[in-house]
């Protein structure tokens, strides 16, 4: 049986990357819940984005999550979370929403 997860994300901070590509680093708090809505993982992850694409930092994810399937799923979900917000993410600190 395939295990299903649900995710909650929250942007904590956005900062300029100063890499010449107009990139920004987003610090995202992620909570992962199982089917019974129990918290199974919580962590802070960095995601880099620019006009070319959205790139979660694999080292952040691999260092905190042991399951390879959950690592891949978390990468996909982080990209999906950041994509619609790219135009609105300006450098600075962000207040908690939940």
Per the domain annotation, does 22 fall within a domain?
A: yes
Per the domain annotation, does 1 fall within a domain?
A: no
Q: Which residues contact 32 (CB under 8 A, 6 or more apart)?
A: 5, 6, 7, 39, 40, 41, 42, 70, 74
Q: What tens digit of pLDDT does each residue of 19-51 get?
A: 888 999 999 999 999 999 999 999 999 999 999
Question: For the chain, what is the domain count?
Answer: 1
- pTM (two decimals): 0.90
Per the domain annotation, does 39 fall within a domain?
A: yes
Q: Which residues contact 18 (CB under 8 A, 6 or more apart)?
A: none
Q: What tens digit of pLDDT does each residue of 61-86 get?
A: 999 999 999 999 999 999 999 999 99
Per the domain annotation, does 98 fall within a domain?
A: no
- Show the domain range for 20: 6-93
pLDDT at 38: 96
Reply yes or no on whether the pLDDT at 2 is more than 80.
no
CA distance 48 to 55: 5
Shortest CA distance to 56 belongs to which of 40, 39, 78, 41? Answer: 78
Per the domain annotation, does 66 fall within a domain?
A: yes
Per the domain annotation, does 32 fall within a domain?
A: yes
Per the domain annotation, does 81 fall within a domain?
A: yes
């Amino acid at each position: 049986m395939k295990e299903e997860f649900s995710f909650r994300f929250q942007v904590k901070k956005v900062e300029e990357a100063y890499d010449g590509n107009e990139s920004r680093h987003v610090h995202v708090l992620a909570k992962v819940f199982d089917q019974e809505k129990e918290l199974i993982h919580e962590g802070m992850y960095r995601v880099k984005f620019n006009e070319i694409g959205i790139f979660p930092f694999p080292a952040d994810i691999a260092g905190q999550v042991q399951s390879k399937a959950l690592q891949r799923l978390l990468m996909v979900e982080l990209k999906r979370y950041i994509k619609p917000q790219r135009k609105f993410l300006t450098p600075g600190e962000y207040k908690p929403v939940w």
